[in-house]
Structure 1
Amino acid sequence: MFPPQLNRIFYSYKLFLLCLLCYSGSVYSQGTFSHQKFDSILLKKTESLRIQGDYENLVRLNKDYLNLAQEKNYKEGIILCYINISNISATIGNYKRGLSYLSLAEKELKKVNSSVLKARLFQEHAQLNAVIGLYKSALDLNSKGLFYLKSISDQEKRKFYLYRLYANRADFLYKANNPDSAYIYLQKGKRIDGQGVLLTTLLAKHHLMYSKRRDSAFIYLHKASAKIVNTGKVNVQSAFVDLTYGDYYFALEDYKIALEYYNKALDYYSKTNRLYNIPGVYESIAKTYKMLNEPQKEEEAMKKYTEEKTALENIQNEAINISIDHMLSDKDEESNGFQKRIYLYIGLIVILSLVIFILLYRHNRALRQKKNEFKSEALSLKSRINDSFEELVSLAKKNDSTFLTRFQEIYPEFCPRLLEINPKLGASELTFCAMIKLNFTSKEIAEYTFIQHKSVQQKKHRLRKKLNVPTEQELFIFFDSL
């Protein structure tokens, strides 16, 4: 047996030789560079390494192919590598780098016309927004990806991406508390490929949580397990399957077996550095220990849950700001394009309309229409505000990890205003302020965040000092004024 260092050197050397063989025997055909083989081989190898969770070699592979694409000035290949590297970065929790590579891909994509790459770009943007908790944005971006898929003539590529976009959309809809619509997209994906591990596991989860058909849930879980290829290495798909198995046995009240599956899922997620999945697993483990009447282990698991959740939120916050800036930039571009079209329409109307009476008539009619639209939008806005408030209250009651993220979407100026007063406020303090802003009582805050009523009062006292709030002023009134 060689020392670990030599083993790593030999492994890297073998991978280097393999890449050379790929380039000479696959990407090149009789001395010519083949775009089709470049795409096909890169996608297959990337998918294989992604499932194994071998991110180090996955990055190396895509950077090697990126160098080749740049050498051959193959724009579509460059974009494909940027998108792949973005996906890898987001998967291991480096959301900022993921967004950076997506921006590079988006910049290059303006120079080419490829519906496949546009669909893929929006798919990755959607997934990245979903992992940082921006589910509405994720669904909007997913819709744009589906739109570009309609114009893809290659049926194999169309099915390949359509299946994944349907599965992603179903996952986003579940997280956005819309299970009925999610199930529709699961069925659409099933008609394309009923054997995929992600989609099959999502079907099992649906029957477990919503239809309450546990026999169907078990059948789908068994199918998903059978589809996982055992390569002797960590398979990231196994983590989601084991997590769902844990939920299945928890529902059966077989808590010891549930705990075994939760721990397996935690191990897989930890080894593959899936940071956004880890807090939820610890929370499930804590609930299981509670049912097993093991308070010390429950407390340890809840402590780990809080630590991992806080660490994840700190990573997410910066990515959320970048993502929101990107969305605002896109809206500005759309607005500029819309304004140009409006000016063109007005010019045509002026040229074609010689009679002032007709122009005045159209103008008055447009004003009346805008007035009606304004009234309609006002009513719609009021309805959306009420729905959003109820959603926030529900997330807070569940102590859901996405509460602060969703709160910032709905009240985008609240947290920045607090940080102007005191930049040292942490994520947990911002969450506490948000709950007071939503008019939760001290007793309710204590109940939903698993702390004592006395601790809530102490937190309020410390907040007053940090935010310079006079003792005679109610914190709720102070936050509401922000």
Structure 2
Amino acid sequence: MFPPENKVNRVHISSNNFLLFLFSCLFLNAGLVYGQGRFSPKNFDSILLKKTESLRIQGDYESLVRLNKDYLHVAEENKYKEGVILCYINISNISSTIGNYKRGLSYLALAEKELKTINNPVLQARVYQEHGQLNGVIKLYKSALDLNSKGMYYLKTISDADKRKFYLYRLYSNRADFLSKTNKVDSAYIYLQKGKRVDSQGVLLNTLLAKHHLQYTKNKDSALIYLQRASERIENTGKENVQSGFVNLIYGDYYFESKDYKTALEYYNKALDNYNKTNRLYYIPDVYQSIAKAYKMLNEPQKEEEAMQKYAEEKTALENIQNDAINISIDHMLTDKDEESYGFQKKIYFYSGLIVILSIIVFILLYRHNRLLRQRKNEFKSEALSLKSKINDSFDELVNLAKKNDSTFLTRFQEIYPDFCPKLLEINPKLGASELGFCAMIKLNFTSKEIAEYTFIQHKSVQQKKHRLRKKLNVPSDQELFIFFDSL
């Protein structure tokens, strides 16, 4: 009924393709990378970028890894640091694409470390674009948008128009996607239009535009036009590629909205086949969920249940991978904040010394001195109000994550209430992540009915979970769990 179960790091390559690839690598290393017997950085960059993009679109990840490892060796041998960084970025992209987010982040860290020793805005823009895209995949959208902005900043300093266009298209597409997922629909549409002006025929951008019209403007005619443009671009390549899955998925949505559920199901299954063949783990749970919805509309409850079971399995597997990557990404962000804090501290020391000197002069002018004190008092009040507002925003954010059953809910909860989980684990160290998440929802004062609704379980199951928690945490039956958690 469904394609075989997806496995992490699955690759496909025929023996003929491998021999052709091996021959091309030997030819490139022996000839094109070396101009007339000498190493040529320009040839290295242009050939590697073209070859990488071609294999990426085909979904030939094994050949991609071999290609970039061979080129990494050549770059290291010739002490070409920019080439080393480029290979690190490419390997990170490949790793993230096939669901190995930890390895993707580690190669990006290597690239960032090397970038600190040189000045290359093209590679800076590329690193931030890749890092933003990876954070978007693991649902850290705020971080993804910040990294995307940094990528655009460096892109503005690039003089090469072709390179600027190549990366700008990707940055605009990524930013539109992140904004859409944070419900900033109007802003997302602005960046879709900006990307369209850069490349009106791009598969990704046209598919995103089709998705936007289906979800928000409800203009199915416009959606179909953009889908047809994307399909034509894929057909012109003569073969299906990694972008085919996204196009088929949105075609499925188009026919679902048109109430042609059989055709929608056909396209959803095509998308699932594309994503399995190209190992795009991130999209697979959503496709199974769409298949379940189609079966529901076709009144086939057994197949609907099977699809939802596959959705739950794939979602759990993906979340396990994402949670590891989230922790690494958060550590990376905290390291960056520490570095920023150190730089800020140096500035504070400088300005503090300056203030001491100025204060001696200002002391004579009592009126001005008092006015300065009043001004500072008002600033402190403003900061206190701002802090209070941020606390309220954080609570609202947690509630929204819980309502969406978002996998990042517990991670974000621990950031805002850092002492809560450790105190529970002191009482019972054997509590699992799902139980801690359940306790967190009670702490936020969700009712049993709301917990059942947002976690897709029965109300009776919630009551049973509460009963088991009381035993594990030694909470008396006459004490409310909410009061117990609140007292922690």
Q: TM-score, normalised by structure 1?
A: 0.90
The CA deviation string for residues 383-414 of structure 1, in whole angstroms up to 9 with x for no partner, is: 44444544544454454555556555655665
**Cα distance per residue 1:304-357 (max 9 Å; x no partner):** 111111111111112111111111110110111112123234445667887353
In structure 1, how many angstroms separate the alpha carbons of the residues matched to 2:379 and 2:449? 43
Paired position in structure 2 for 1:40:
46
Letter of the aligned partner of 1:26 in structure 2?
L
Q: 1:457 aligns with which of 459, 463, 484?
A: 463
Q: Cα distance, 1:63 vs. partner? A: 0.7
Q: For the structure 1 residues 451 and 355, does the alpha-carbon distance in structure 2 shift closer, same or farther, using more than 3 Å as the test?
A: closer
Contact persistence 2:129–2:171 (CA under 8 A): yes
Instruction: Report what 1:67 is aligned to.
Output: 73
Structure 1 residues 248-263: aligned runs within 5 Å = 248-263=254-269
Mapped to 2, the partners of 1:20 and 1:426 lie a distance apart of: 52
Equivalent position SS for 2:282: coil
Query: 1:276 & 1:423 partners in 2: Cα distance?
Result: 32
For the residue of structure 1 that corresponds to 2:197, the secondary structure is helix
Match of 1:3 in 2: none
Instruction: Please point out which of 148, 151, 158 is paired with 2:157.
Output: 151
Note closer, same or farther for the CA distance 1:399–1:340 as it changes in structure 2 (3 Å cut). closer
**In 2, Cα distance between the equivalents of 1:30 and 1:372?**
70
Cα pair distance change 1:313/1:411, threshold 3 Å = farther
In structure 1, runs of 5+ residues without a counterpart are 1-6
Q: Counterparts of 1:131 and 1:269 in 2: how far apart (Å)? A: 15
* Aligned partner (choices 235, 242, 263) of residue 236 of structure 1: 242
For 1:211, the equivalent position in structure 2 comes to 217
For residue 180 of structure 1, the aligned residue among 175, 183, 186 is 186
CA distance in 2, matches of 1:119, 1:363: 46
- Taking the aligned partners of 2:97 and 2:122, their CA distance within structure 1 comes to 22
Matching residue of 2:453: 447
2:87 matches 1:112: no
Q: d(CA) in 1 for partners of 2:368 and 2:24?
A: 69
**Is contact 1:134-1:405 (8 Å) kept?**
no
Pair 1:53–1:433, CA change in 2 (3 A): farther
**Matched residue SS, 1:297:** helix
Unpaired runs of 5+ in structure 2? 1-12
Task: Quote the Cα distance in structure 1 between the aligned partners of 2:267 and 2:481.
Answer: 44
What whole-Å deviation, never above 9, does each CA across 1:450-472 have from its counterpart, x for those lacking one? Answer: 32221111122223334444433
1:134 alignment counterpart: 140
Query: In the alignment, is residue 344 of structure 1 matched against residue 344 of structure 2?
Result: no
Residues 134 and 406 in structure 1, CA contact (< 8 A), matched pair in contact too: no
My pick for the range that moved more, 266-275 or 96-105, is 266-275
CA distance, structure 2, for counterparts of residue 155 and residue 382 of structure 1: 46
* CA shift in 2, pair 1:165/1:416, >3 Å: farther
2:441 to 405, 424, 435: 435
CA distance 1:400–1:320, change in 2 (3 Å): closer
Letter in 1 for 2:160: D
Which stretch of structure 1 is more off in the superposition, 469-478 or 71-80? Answer: 469-478
Task: Say if 2:198 is the partner of 1:192.
Answer: yes
Cα 1:343–1:463 shift into 2, 3 Å: same
1:355 aligned counterpart, secondary structure: helix
User: Are the counterparts in 2 of residues 279 and 306 from structure 1 also a CA contact under 8 Å?
Assistant: yes
Quick one: which amino acid aligns to residue 52 of structure 1?
Q
Does 1:293 find its partner at 2:303?
no
Corresponding residue to 1:22 among 22, 28, 33? 28
Q: 1:342 to 1:452 in 2, by over 3 A?
A: closer
Q: What is the distance in 1 between the residues matched to 2:372 and 2:99?
A: 49
Of 240, 244, 251, the match for 1:245: 251
TM-score (norm 2): 0.89
When the two structures are aligned, how many residues end up with a matched partner? 476
Q: Is the 8 A contact 1:133 1:406 kept in 2?
A: no
Deviation at 1:74, TM superposition (A): 0.6
Moved more, 293-302 or 60-69: 293-302
Q: Identify the residue that residue 101 of structure 2 maps to in structure 1.
A: 95
Residue type of the alignment partner of 1:195 = Q
Q: Is the 8 A contact 1:133 1:405 kept in 2?
A: no
Using the TM superposition, name which of 237-246 and 387-396 deviates more: 387-396
The CA distance in 2 between the partners of 1:74 and 1:256, in whole Å, is 55
Q: More displaced, 404-413 or 58-67?
A: 404-413
Distance across 2 between alignment mates of 1:340 and 1:313: 40
Percent identity over paired residues: 79
Quick check: 355-364 or 325-334, which moved more? 355-364
